[in-house]
Every structure is written in C-alpha cells, then in structure tokens.
Structure 1
Amino acid sequence: MDFFEDVVVGTVTPLGSHSFFAEEITAFARSFDPQPFHLDAAVGARMHFGGLAASGWHTAAVAARLRAQAIARHHAELHRQGRPVPRIGPSPGFKNLKWLRPVLAGDTVTFASEVIAKKPSASRPEWGLVFTHETGTDQFGRPVFALDDCVFVEREES
C-alpha cells in the first residue's frame, strides 16, 4: 500500500495463492468452526459440498494473511528503495462478505485485491480511507470468495 495520494483506483494487486489441505481444514475447524462438514470428509461428501469443505472463516483468514503479507512485501521494497513507507491503520470494517462456492480439500485459491474507491478521512486529516474489493478464485477459475474492505492509509501531506 502506498501513501493515500498515490493509491490509484482500479489498481489490482495479486495477493498470492493458498492450497487448502485436509489436515489444515480440520485443524482450523477443530479450533474455530467445528461443524461436521469441516471435520469429516464423509459427512461433507454426503452433503451438498461434495467433500471436506474448508470453513468460510478459514478462507477469510487466509485472505487476510495474504493481504498483510503483500503489504509487508511492498513496504519492504519501498524501504529498500529508500522511499518513505506509509503507515497503514486499522480497518473500520468490511461488508458484502460472500462465500460463493465451497473450498474443498485439495483446492488452491488465488486471491486479489482491487482498489474501488478512496476518500480523505473527514475526522482524521492525516489519514485517508481506501476501499478494496477482495476476491478468491479456485484453480478452475471459479470465484469462491469475495468481500469489500476498507482501511486507513496515511496521507503524505500530513
């Protein structure tokens, strides 16, 4: 993420890919979402999922991790170039979270983030708000995950 003034609406940033394997799916489910179709492949197969399905929250957590890692890589590159690195503030929230199809054991999901809008913060002049549309697509090119996110980004003018 660049300084607010340098963020360009329409920019798409690849966040990376993640393969969801059975052991990770069940470990996440045991800790955070212990529903039978996240814990047992036979139960998932008997349901409309067709197999062991990752928790939607697992998919969202992976997307969040990949987003944070992509920002860290970009900031490290800015630092290597001797350029100033903007502060990234918290997210005031997200909306339109959608789990569009099940993520099954063995699926690889590729995540991306598109800047869809930005505006200066009305209450904090040193910050701007950057709005993004986050997506996840499986190895067959089918959308499996989406959400609209917002984050505070430092203004260079401050």
Structure 2
Amino acid sequence: MEKRLIYLEDLVVGSVFESAIHPVDAEKIKEFARQFDPQPFHVDEDAAVGTFFGGLAASGWHTAAITMKLLVESLPLSGGVIGAGSDISWPQPTRPGDILRVVSTIMDVTPSRSKPDRGIVKVQSDTLNQDGGLCQRSVARLVVFRRDRQTTQVFLSGNAS
C-alpha cells in the first residue's frame, strides 16, 4: 500500500510522526562498523568492555542510518527527505538487542520567499530504544515542496490566465 505524500501545506508546528520499529543486533552493529567506523568498541565485543562504552555499541552513524530509514518511511515527503542542515547528538549508545523507533516533531514551517514552490521545515527526530531511552536526537532543516509546484510557479511569475 502506497503512503500519501506529504507537502508543505500539510505540515503544522507540533505535528508528530512515529515510525515503525527496527531491531538492532550485534552482528549488524559489527558489520556496519567494519565497513564504515572500524573502532574496537563497534567491532569487537571483548575489546569493547574496556572502553568508554563498557561494551559493544553501535556507531552513531549506524544509528543515524537506521534513523534515516525510519524517518523516510514515517514522514513521506513529496520529493524526498532533502536536508538543508542538521544538528545531531547521541545521548546514549545504541546496543545489541535495542529496538529503535523514531518520533519526529515539526518545530517550524517557513515558506520560502524567493522560491515559492517550497519551504524549509525544522524537524526534531528522536530515536528511542525499547525503554524510551534517547539514542539519537537530530534537529534538521528540510526542503519541503508545495503540493502544486507548477501552478504555484506559473501563478507567481504572472503567466496565469
């Protein structure tokens, strides 16, 4: 079943979007880390015990990748999730056995003055584990298109009949 696309006009401050869940296991943590962030606390359970994390922890970039997947699925923006900047933090590590979900809240909606077919939406996305622990928080500015871009462009350029 195809999801209904979301446009700038559909978004209001305070709207909340919740994702499905995504389980994380030790093998996936190590597989991602071997490829993209090969540090001992991400790739070796025994070595991880003696580190800052005190055990195997997913790379923050792994958590970010999972977040992106869940965000795209739960906030189906017309034209895609197009970033225009983001702040990101990882208050606690993602661990093997965690079950992640993303809760995204619309913080601001600003129509563009120079590009009438779009706007910038500020979204806070919290990646939570099964206990409600905050594994990642991102505050992103996203480019979001209006419902009828062509009509908007024609009308505002003075070419409407």
The TM-score with structure 2 as length reference comes to: 0.82
Partner of 2:156: none
- TM-fit CA distance, 1:43: 1.6
Partner of 2:122: 131
Partner of 1:101: 92
Q: Distance in 1 between matches of 2:39 and 2:141?
A: 30
Q: RMSD of the TM alignment (CA)?
A: 1.7
Partner of 1:63: 67
**1:132–1:36 Cα change, 3 Å:** same
Partner of 1:153: 144
- TM-fit CA distance, 1:89: 6.2
Moved more, 143-152 or 52-61: 143-152
| Contact 1:89 1:154 survives alignment (8 Å) | no
Q: Distance in 1 between matches of 2:119 and 2:137?
A: 23
Moved more, 53-62 or 5-14: 5-14
User: Aligned to 2:105, which of 75, 98, 114?
Assistant: 114
Q: Does 1:22 align with 2:12?
A: no
Q: Distance in 2 between matches of 1:50 and 1:18?
A: 23
2:52 aligns to what SS in structure 1?
A: coil
Deviations 1:90-115 (A, max 9, x none): 211112x1101111111112211110
| Contact 2:109 2:120 survives alignment (8 Å) | yes
Q: Which runs of 4+ in 1 moved over 6 A?
A: none
Return the letter of the residue paired with 1:99.
W
Q: Does 1:47 align with 2:51?
A: yes
Deviations 1:109-149 (A, max 9, x none): 22111100010113311101111001011122211110101
- Give the aligned length: 145
Return the letter of the residue paired with 1:70.
S
- TM-fit CA distance, 1:62: 0.4
* Unmatched runs of 5 consecutive residues or more in structure 2: 153-161
Moved more, 12-21 or 33-42: 12-21
| Contact 1:16 1:112 survives alignment (8 Å) | no
Structure with larger Rg: 2
- TM-fit CA distance, 1:57: 0.3
Return the letter of the residue paired with 1:90.
I
The TM-score with structure 1 as length reference comes to: 0.84
Return the letter of the residue paired with 1:56.
G
* Unmatched runs of 5 consecutive residues or more in structure 1: 76-85
Return the letter of the residue paired with 1:87.
G
